[in-house]
A and B are shown apart, each in its own frame.
Chain A
Amino acid sequence: MNKKNYINHLSGQLTAGQIDRRQFMMSALATGLAVPAALTLAGQAVAAAPKRGGLFRFGVAHGSTTDTLDSATSENHFTLINGYTFGNHLTEVDNNGQLIGELAESYESDDAKTWIFNLRKGVEFHNGKSFSSEDVLASYGHHMGEDSTSAAKGLLTAVKSIKADGNHRVIFDLESANADFPFIVSDYHISIRPAGDMTSGIGTGGYIVQSFEPGVKSVLKRNPNYWKEGRAHFDEVELISIIDPTARQNALMTGEIDAMDRVDLKTINLFKRDPNINIMDVTGTAHYTFPMRLNVDPFGNYDLRMALKLAVNRQELVDKILLGYGAVGNDHPISTANRYHNSDMPQREIDIDKAAHHYKKSGHSGKIPLSASDAAFAGAVDAAQLIANSASKAGMEIEVVREPSDGYWSNVWNNDAKGWCACYWGGRPTEDWMFSAAYTDDTKWNDTNWKTTDGAKKFNRLVKEARAELNEAKRREIYYECQRLISDDGGAMVPLFNSYVSANSKSVAMGEVAANWDSDGAKCVERWWFA
């Protein structure tokens, strides 16, 4: 389980000149890494030898005056990045999408039901308190219980109990097996804070919060005692909330900031021309969906759903809504960045004849309302219109209904009043997490209400099965089938996976970039350095 860590460690040594290239290769290959991969890693490490120092200013497209340092209500990308900068979690997703231990040195389970996390020793919080299992218990308690208002509450409902076994070992007892539980604990809400102080921004992370002005900026200083090696290179960090894309891009072009997220796709071709700027795009797990609710007429009808899915010109959407910065979806939420992406399944293309055939078979007639708002994702209304446009060729009449942005998530999405709407999913690092967030019959966010069809029943059974399954190959097989079921029978139309497009000044250097979140897995501050 610790292979990755070990390689990181080696890379660090190589970079620092403690070992030479040959030693690195030898050791890396010994872990079972393939030769080319090891070569790449070595190349990266040398070419981009991280340097310590400098003030890193990062322009974040989010931020609100209601932001806090409490990870429980972390709602946007600003608090997400900020949280990762000063705090650690039990596990983390590394820049290759692999799960590695963070504050947990290692973790294990025999039945996927009882999970044991062995905690790292010698780690100190910013306030000097040394990290131990009581902090884990307190931190998890913050997100659980009836009174908790944490956004992670739903994630942890399966946790029956948490026990400390000595100072550096914690045992989680789950209601039911979940092979992906270690992934869940990497969720950005579940930051580990010192017992008794969940909200003031004390963590174990690479940077210490100096000042935090909600909706404005967060100023951090390097943690001199940071336990992680080869991380946290900058001396000082300023995270600045710049919501207006033009202002953000201007700030980067005029050197007011060193990096930024969410490049405005509309102007990206011009933006690229700035010689001092690197544009970076990563296909992640985030996707745009158009969930159809099976319990609302007429979407209970399989043929109608299929007709609509076949009538979408996915490539056009990628080209126009994402200006090419994204990938077509196959009507299921699993991205190529996920471990078990079903690459065997053929890509669904627009097929007007087939769509018309299914539509005819469905027996439906009349307008089909499609609710959209740019609150769902940028360009949602445009996308809905493009869908309406292509569907009309198959004889289907889609009526695009523009909904108010404010309250969209409460009043439109996942609401029986609207049968079909636009939606955005940030993606989840694991298949199970994604499925159980939005597709299983026990989640409240099952926005398609795909619960009762035979396909759905089978799907739910398979997901449970996979959770308890620790064998990789078997899990892969199961998840492939799950993806097929959603794609075929499910209510979700998933035409697009959007890329994370960010930009940085050429003075900033980095290794391979993670795909699980925007901005190098939202950990750019910890991972990047000044060239």
Chain B
Amino acid sequence: MTEKPNTYSALSEVGAIRENRTIFANIKISLLKSPLTARFGMVVILIYAVVAIFAPLIAPYGEAEVFPIPYAPWSSEFIFGTDQIGRDIFSRMVYGARNTVGIAVATTLLAFLIGGSLGLAAAINRSYLDLVFSRTVDVLMAIPQLIFALVLLSIFGSTVINLIMIIAILDSTRVFRLTRAVSLNVVVMDYVEAARLRGEGLGWVMRKEILPNILPPLIAEFGLRFCFVFLSIAALSFLGVGIQPPTADWGSMVRENASLIQFAKYDLKAGITPLLPAAAIALLTVAVNFVVDWFLHKTSGIRDE
């Protein structure tokens, strides 16, 4: 009984039960198997994307085109009526998709770029970098965000660029914490040690070894943060420093039309008007989170029966 079992060879060893499929095939299977909520979310996101990209083709009128009748009622000419200076609300909703989602994406991307890279660096270099970054973030988080944003916007002027930069920087504190926390779990992995033993630099370790493995929670967080940018913009515009007109963004549109809601008992449609941009935000938030939940669920491998 000394001979090797004839059934054995390294080549024929059976790996985990997994077929070797192309990425495309995997995506297709995932989509087919996705729960209803995730599909709903994806459809909604797709519609938003289409609307945002083709806004000028879809919107019946221009973003800043002014008509003589302010607050025109709902009609075939103006589907959702016009706003306080006579701009078509539907057209502004459509352009709003582009501006709002665009700004939100830009802001969130920037926040993740800053928070993510600093968080990663802190997690890898656990000495002085970590100390400096973590303490700085502590300090920033101890300052009320909204009021700080207000102050910064007043200092630098509330242009779209500044708005994006400031919200991104303030938001990046949370991204930093998350990235650092999840990276710490990855940093202790042997393959990271292997890369360091090989003599790889910080940049390579961050980009190639850690980043791909912390993406799922980051993407999930991205979904949430992304939605909160709308809210930050809405809150800032409530305090008077949001996106400047005539740029249509949903947060400011809610703000501009919010007072109509109190008159729902006199004019239901007018009362509903401010709900439209709010609902647009809510729908996107819910949709994004449905997809994110599903994605997290898939990637984390947690089976909750």
Q: Are A245 and B259 in contact (CB under 8 A)?
A: yes
Q: Are A385 and B246 in contact (CB under 8 A)?
A: yes
Q: Would you give the 0/1 interface string for A269-290, flagging 1 where the beta carbon is closer than 8 Å to chain B?
A: 1110110000000000000000
Q: How many residues of A contact B (CB 8 A)?
A: 29
Q: Are B263 and A270 in contact (CB under 8 A)?
A: yes
Docked complex: A256-304 residues within 8 A CB-CB of B: 264, 266-267, 269-271, 273-274
Bound-state Cα–Cα, A131 to B78, Å: 64
By beta carbon, the residue of chain A nearest B154 is A406
Q: Would you give the 0/1 interface string for B69-91, flagging 1 where the beta carbon is closer than 8 Å to chain A?
A: 01100000000000011100000
Q: Are B259 and A273 in contact (CB under 8 A)?
A: no
**Which residues of B lie under 8 Å from residue A253 when comparing CB positions?**
262
- A266 contact from B71, B154, B157, B241, Cβ within 8 A: B71
**Which residues of B lie under 8 Å from residue A321 when comparing CB positions?**
85
CB distance from A415 to the nearest CB of B (A): 15
CB distance from A250 to the nearest CB of B (A): 5
Q: A273-B266, A320-B70, A381-B245 are in contact. Are A246 and B258 (CB under 8 A)?
A: yes
Q: Are B66 and A273 in contact (CB under 8 A)?
A: no
Q: How many residues of B contact A (CB 8 A)?
A: 27
Q: Are B240 and A374 in contact (CB under 8 A)?
A: yes
CB distance from A369 to the nearest CB of B (A): 16
**Which residues of A lie under 8 Å from residue B245 when comparing CB positions?**
381-382
User: 13 interchain pairs (CB within 8 A)?
Assistant: A266-B70, A267-B260, A269-B71, A270-B267, A321-B85, A323-B70, A381-B245, A386-B66, A389-B66, A402-B244, A404-B241, A405-B240, A406-B241
A249 at the interface (CB under 8 A from B): yes
**Which residues of A lie under 8 Å from residue B244 when comparing CB positions?**
381, 402
Bound-state Cα–Cα, A267 to B270, Å: 10
Bound-state Cα–Cα, A83 to B44, Å: 56
CB distance from B82 to the nearest CB of A (A): 11
Q: A270-B270, A381-B245 are in contact. Are A404 and B157 (CB under 8 A)?
A: yes
Q: Are A270 and B240 in contact (CB under 8 A)?
A: no
B100 at the interface (CB under 8 A from A): no
Q: Are A273 and B263 in contact (CB under 8 A)?
A: yes
**Which residues of B lie under 8 Å from residue A270 when comparing CB positions?**
260, 263, 266-267, 270
* 11 more A-B residue pairs beyond the given contacts A273-B266, A405-B241, A407-B154, with a C-beta to C-beta distance below 8 A: A246-B262, A266-B256, A270-B263, A320-B85, A379-B85, A385-B64, A385-B66, A404-B153, A404-B154, A404-B158, A405-B154
Bound-state Cα–Cα, A23 to B64, Å: 63
By beta carbon, the residue of chain A nearest B238 is A244
Bound-state Cα–Cα, A246 to B261, Å: 9
Q: Are B86 and A320 in contact (CB under 8 A)?
A: yes
CB distance from A399 to the nearest CB of B (A): 14
Bound-state Cα–Cα, A264 to B71, Å: 13
**Which residues of A lie under 8 Å from residue B154 when comparing CB positions?**
404-407
Docked complex: A286-335 residues within 8 A CB-CB of B: 319-321, 323
CB distance from A242 to the nearest CB of B (A): 13
**Which residues of B lie under 8 Å from residue A381 when comparing CB positions?**
244-245
By beta carbon, the residue of chain A nearest B159 is A402
Q: Are B85 and A249 in contact (CB under 8 A)?
A: no
Q: Are B86 and A266 in contact (CB under 8 A)?
A: no
Bound-state Cα–Cα, A10 to B54, Å: 72
Bound-state Cα–Cα, A385 to B244, Å: 13
By beta carbon, the residue of chain B nearest A275 is B266
Docked complex: B251-305 residues within 8 A CB-CB of A: 256, 258-263, 266-267, 270
Q: Would you give the 0/1 interface string for A112-136, flagging 1 where the beta carbon is closer than 8 Å to chain B?
A: 0000000000000000000000000
Q: Are A267 and B259 in contact (CB under 8 A)?
A: yes
Interface of A is mostly: helix
**Which residues of A lie under 8 Å from residue B241 when comparing CB positions?**
404-406
**Which residues of A lie under 8 Å from residue B240 when comparing CB positions?**
374, 405
Most buried by B among A269, A274, A381, A404: A404
Bound-state Cα–Cα, A176 to B244, Å: 47
Bound-state Cα–Cα, A269 to B153, Å: 34
CB distance from A376 to the nearest CB of B (A): 13
Docked complex: B152-187 residues within 8 A CB-CB of A: 153-154, 157-158
**Which residues of B lie under 8 Å from residue A382 when comparing CB positions?**
85, 245-246
**Which residues of A lie under 8 Å from residue B157 when comparing CB positions?**
404
Q: Are B158 and A266 in contact (CB under 8 A)?
A: no
Q: Are B259 and A246 in contact (CB under 8 A)?
A: yes
Bound-state Cα–Cα, A403 to B186, Å: 48
CB distance from A153 to the nearest CB of B (A): 27
6 A-B pairs closest in CB distance: A270-B263, A406-B154, A246-B259, A273-B266, A266-B84, A404-B157
Q: Are B86 and A250 in contact (CB under 8 A)?
A: no
Q: A385-B246, A404-B154, A406-B154 are in contact. Are A267 and B263 (CB under 8 A)?
A: yes
Bound-state Cα–Cα, A371 to B122, Å: 45
CB distance from B185 to the nearest CB of A (A): 44
CB distance from A279 to the nearest CB of B (A): 14
CB distance from A73 to the nearest CB of B (A): 21
CB distance from A151 to the nearest CB of B (A): 23
Bound-state Cα–Cα, A313 to B252, Å: 28
**Which residues of A lie under 8 Å from residue B263 when comparing CB positions?**
267, 270-271, 273
By beta carbon, the residue of chain A nearest B260 is A267
CB distance from A463 to the nearest CB of B (A): 37
Q: Are B266 and A266 in contact (CB under 8 A)?
A: no
Q: Are B246 and A266 in contact (CB under 8 A)?
A: no
Bound-state Cα–Cα, A407 to B158, Å: 13
Q: Would you give the 0/1 interface string for A404-433, flagging 1 where the beta carbon is closer than 8 Å to chain B?
A: 111100000000000000000000000000
By beta carbon, the residue of chain B nearest A245 is B259
**Which residues of B lie under 8 Å from residue A250 when comparing CB positions?**
262
**Which residues of A lie under 8 Å from residue B258 when comparing CB positions?**
246
Bound-state Cα–Cα, A402 to B256, Å: 18
**Which residues of B lie under 8 Å from residue A246 when comparing CB positions?**
258-259, 261-262
Most buried by A among B68, B84, B157, B270: B84
Bound-state Cα–Cα, A270 to B84, Å: 13
